């Protein structure tokens, strides 16, 4: 679905259709939860902010998110080096930006709603375990293993290939564990079913957790099913 964000749209509706807008609203202290039922124009005016700048930032962010979700590239036909660069610039960049911000939202709904929804304590624990592991994982890939793969392609030897295969086996195990944590979060939340007392922040958090899961599935698919077999099958 294509969306053009305008200042006449309600703040809450913008976050509903583009959950990451909550980050920008939080930055500018625009209330999208209790104060979500009013036009963006009014919220910006109240804070004496630059309306054009905020609308432009929202649309640019939304278009970037849409581009990630509507890929048409046949990744089987892309070189390993280019696929690695794509994973780093797209999926790793997304995780680097999203995990810290989403962690704040997970913490907030646990703090505010945890007394009435005990499962949020489990979501909090599993998410923060996942976040820590994923950040360590992408640093390892970016700084050690992906350069190792590129070095092998530049000058292949049997010794380098065995090193690459061992590293890939380790990465696949880490992918499996991240997948297990995502499955746990989905089970605990009953497929991200919102309770009747869910506020906008609660809703946004669940939307972004589900979006994180979706991106991870695509991300891991590109590595496990396309990139890694090129070396494991040699």
Instruction: Report residue 184: phi and psi, to 5°.
Output: -60, -45
3-state secondary structure of 10: strand
Quote the pLDDT of residue 170: 95
| Residue labelled with tokens 């990465």 | 171
| Residue labelled with tokens 């050690």 | 144
Quote the pLDDT of residue 234: 82
DSSP 8-state assignment for residue 91:
I
Quote the pLDDT of residue 17: 85
Count other C-beta atoms under 10 Å from residue 211's C-beta. 18
- C-beta separation of 126 from 188 below 8 A: yes
Tokens of 78: 């892309």
Q: Is the dihedral of CA 74, 17, 85, 164 positive or negative?
A: negative
CA distance 218 to 158: 30
Tally the residues of the chain.
Answer: 234
Long-range contacts of 50-58 (CB under 8 A, 24+ apart): 51/7, 54/24, 54/28, 55/5, 55/6, 55/7, 57/24, 58/5, 58/14, 58/18, 58/21, 58/24
- Domain locations in the chain as residue ranges: 11-68, 80-233
Quote the pLDDT of residue 1: 54
Question: Which stretches of the chain are assigned E, i.e. beta strand?
Answer: none
Give the pTM. 0.83
- Of the candidates 99, 89, 100, which has an alpha carbon nearest to the alpha carbon of residue 213? 99
| Residue labelled with tokens 């530049």 | 154
Who's near 195: CB < 8 A, 6+ residues apart?
Answer: 117, 202
CA distances from 117 to 1, 102, 191, 208 (A): 32, 19, 15, 19
**DSSP states of 134-166:** HHHHHHHIIIIIHHHHHHHHHS--HHHHHHHHH
**Residue 189 Ramachandran class (φ > 0 left, ψ -120 to 50 alpha, else beta):** alpha
Q: What is the pLDDT along the chain (234 residues), one digit of tens a residue?
A: 578 999 999 988 898 888 888 889 888 988 887 677 889 999 999 999 999 999 999 999 998 888 777 767 788 899 999 999 999 999 999 999 999 999 999 999 999 999 999 999 999 999 999 999 999 999 999 999 999 999 999 999 999 999 999 999 999 999 999 999 999 999 999 999 999 999 999 999 999 999 999 899 989 999 999 999 999 988
- C-beta separation of 120 from 114 below 8 A: yes
């Amino acid at each position: 679905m294509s969306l053009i964000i305008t200042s006449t749209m309600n703040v809450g509706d913008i976050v509903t259709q583009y959950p990451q807008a909550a980050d920008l609203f939080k930055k500018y202290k625009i209330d999208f939860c209790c104060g979500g039922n009013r036009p963006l124009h009014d919220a910006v005016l109240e804070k004496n902010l630059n309306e054009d700048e905020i609308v432009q930032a929202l649309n640019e962010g939304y278009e970037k998110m849409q581009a990630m979700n509507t890929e048409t590239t046949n990744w089987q036909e892309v070189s390993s080096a280019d696929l690695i660069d794509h994973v780093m610039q797209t999926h790793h960049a997304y995780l680097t930006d999203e995990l810290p911000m989403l962690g704040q939202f997970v913490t907030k709904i646990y703090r505010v709603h945890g007394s009435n929804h005990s499962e949020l304590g489990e979501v909090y624990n599993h998410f923060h375990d996942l976040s820590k592991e994923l950040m360590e994982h992408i640093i390892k890939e970016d700084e050690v293993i992906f350069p190792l793969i590129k070095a092998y392609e530049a000058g292949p030897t049997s010794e380098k290939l065995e090193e690459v295969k061992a590293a890939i086996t380790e990465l696949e195990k880490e992918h499996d564990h991240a997948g297990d944590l995502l499955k746990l979060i989905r089970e605990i939340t009953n497929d991200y079913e919102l309770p009747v007392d869910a506020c906008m922040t609660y809703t946004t958090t669940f939307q972004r957790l589900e979006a994180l899961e979706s991106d991870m599935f695509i991300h891991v698919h590109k590595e496990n099913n396309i990139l890694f077999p090129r070396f494991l099958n040699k």
